[in-house]
Amino acid sequence: MLAAPISSCRALSPAAAAAAKTTRRRRMAVSASAWRTRREEAVGRMPRLAHREVMLAVAGEAEARLGERLLPSEVPADVKWFENAAGDAVGSVDVRRGAPGSSIAFMLDAWFHRDLPGSGAIDITALIINLTGVTDAPHLVMEFIQGTPTSLIVLLDLLPRRDLPLHPAYIDRYYAATSLDARGRQGFADRVPQSRPYVSPSLLIRSLWSPAAVVADIQCGEGGEETLEGIVCGQVASTAMDVLGVWLEHCAGGEEMEMDKTERERIVARDRKVSATELELNLAANLPRMFDADVSDRVVAEIRKAFVAHREVARALASQAEARLGARLLPSAVPPDVAEFRAGAGNAVGSLDVRRGAPGSTIDFTFQSSLHCKVPNGAIDITTLLLFLNASTDAPHFLMELIQGSPTSIVVILDLIPRKDLALHPEYIENAWSPTAILVSIDCGQGGECTLEEIVRGQLATVAKELLQIWLDSCADHASEMEEAERESMIKRDQIVRSKSIEVDLTSNLPRMFDQDVANRVIAEIRKAFGVQDV
């Protein structure tokens, strides 16, 4: 327990009560310290609120316990911290994907503050940790909404992933056997007489909660600011930690559950619909009411972009390559408006990174990019990883490109691109793959979201990692003795391949996804990296 019940605090002397409050804050600060270190700038610029301190403490504890099962955040700075032009609203969002092979899908924390006309304000704090399809265990959800200095809406739940009436054993396993109801909903109601049940205006949202959910509206009345803070630092904090403890012990273990294919696909499909509901009803609908349209579009687009499984595979491969190549790669010099870019309408976002090879190494450059664009029937996501060698070797380049146009299909290109022979003929460029190239389209059919995610995280990730390891072992360190004419022919071939890549893949496609000025800026940076002159 982080603090004694509020009824006990009332019996303390003013000095003792102040000391108890200080102790509570110190305990929460210790739990949140690691988390706050990563987000110190954003936290320091937000108004200080007790329920935000609780979220930081819970998030810090979750992060400490999950450890390497969470990948580092890749959310851009203008989404980790954003504000209105008028300065009346500020916010912060961070997303961390689960590491490959773990049961964690993602961890999202967010807080928003908006000044209201007069002297009021609204503050929203949220923490969501979702699991993957390897388990049917519930997700963790925590949300606080404060509209006045003396009131707070609290949502704490292990969000069920099955239809509970059809699966009574699920209720027993995760809610009855864990005593979650006594430690959560019922215990909270008994200890906080100022709370009453909160009824969401959305029937759909209400249907998602578990029977053990803490869904409370705390009203402390006029002059009740200190009482509310005591409740938040005491009963709310202790209940939130109890719920997190149940989730970490009984849900987040990571053991793969035995389920048939249809059952697993149903769970993943349900997860997608629930996530879409949360995104559309909570973020896409509410953020434009709190923030300027360009700000809310940017934040929502970044959150959508974060939940793409194959981008996780590309990140893991890039990290594997960078760890092995080490000092042979120079730091990135890509300007910020190319490292992260988006369409003016907010319907497309992208990121790009280029690292040149150090003098004397065999590396010419590494190239990573990801593009996300909403289209009328869904979205298209393109992830690319290129590792190009220079003219000191004739060893192949490494290429991975993943193109996802629907939740159930993906195009995969994996190859060690050859650098000799027929590439001097332009008609060959459109088919300049090696005989061992993997060029496949995977279509899992209607309802196949889970199957595709398993393939991407499983077989695709494994094959890509093995191919990259072959390249690192056999190509990246390989220097070749060549005649000058042979070397010049190879250099010419490399230039043709790069020019065609820009002309066919980028010059024609980027303007369809992004504003022309954005596309031109990105293409110019890629030309510079590829050593290709504008035409």
Q: In whole angstroms, what separates CA 3 from the centre of its chain?
A: 33
Q: Which pLDDT score is estimated for 126?
A: 92
- Residues 351 and 383: their CA atoms lie apart, in Å, by 10
Half-sphere exposure of 260 (CA within 13 A, CB side): 2
pLDDT in tens, 349-388: 888 889 999 999 999 999 988 888 878 877 788 889 999 9
Average pLDDT, the chain: 80
- Residues 145 and 265: their CA atoms lie apart, in Å, by 33
- Count Cβ atoms below 10 Å from residue 68 Cβ, excluding itself: 7
- Residues 228 and 218: their CA atoms lie apart, in Å, by 8
AA letter at 86: A
pTM beyond 0.85: the answer is no
Helix axes 50-66, 237-250, angle to 10 degrees: 20
Q: Closest Cα to residue 52, out of 28, 26, 17, 87?
A: 28
Which alpha helices (DSSP H) does 196-332 contain, by range?
203-208, 225-231, 237-250, 261-278, 285-290, 293-306, 309-325
Q: Which pLDDT score is estimated for 374?
A: 79
Angle at 524 between CA 523 and CA 525, to 5 degrees: 90
In contact, 191 and 218? CB cutoff 8 Å: no
pLDDT in tens, 277-330: 666 666 666 788 888 888 887 787 777 665 667 777 887 788 788 888 989 999
Query: Which domains, and CATH codes, for the chain?
Result: 26-291 (3.40.1500.20), 309-530 (3.40.1500.20)
3-state SS of 57-82?
HHHHHHHHHHHHHECCCCCCHHHHCE
In contact, 379 and 306? CB cutoff 8 Å: no
Burial of 468 (0-12, 13-18, 19+ CB in 10 A): buried
AA letter at 4: A
Rg (CA), the chain: 26
Paired tokens of 100: 């490959």
Paired tokens of 475: 């190509």
- For the chain, the maximum distance between any two Cα atoms, rounded to a whole number of angstroms, is 91
Angle at 293 between CA 153 and CA 515, to 5 degrees: 145
Q: Name the region of 254 (left: φ>0; alpha: ψ -120 to 50; beta: rest).
A: left
CA distances from residue 138 to 184, 203, 243, 248, 267 in whole angstroms, order as listed? 15, 20, 12, 11, 11
Q: Closest Cα to residue 128, out of 275, 315, 2?
A: 275
Mark the ranges of the chain whose per-residue pLDDT is less than 70: 1-47, 100-101, 254-256, 261, 276-285, 304-308, 421-436, 447, 450, 503-505, 533-535
At CB < 8 A and 24+ separation, what contacts does 285-293 make?
Answer: 287/112, 290/89, 290/91, 290/112, 290/114, 290/122, 291/82, 291/84, 291/89, 291/91, 291/112, 291/114, 292/84, 292/85, 293/346
CA distances from residue 330 to 155, 365, 491 in whole angstroms, order as listed? 47, 9, 22
Strand partners of residue 145: 124, 153
- Residues 283 and 294: their CA atoms lie apart, in Å, by 14
Q: Closest Cα to residue 393, out of 303, 480, 308?
A: 480
Helix (H, G, I), strand (E, B) or coil at 478: coil
- Name the pairing type of β-strands 121-131 and 104-115: antiparallel
Q: Which pLDDT score is estimated for 24?
A: 39
Residues 6+ apart with CB under 8 A from 26: none
Q: Closest Cα to residue 320, out of 529, 473, 452, 167?
A: 473
Angle at 458 between CA 438 and CA 410, to 5 degrees: 50
Helix axes 309-325, 461-474, angle to 10 degrees: 20
In which element (H, E) is residue 52 found? helix 50-66
pLDDT in tens, 198-237: 888 777 778 888 999 999 999 999 889 999 999 999 999 9
What is the dihedral sign for C-alpha 323, 382, 372, 139? negative
Residues 272-286, buried b or exposed e (16+ Cβ, 10 A)? eebbeebeeebbbee
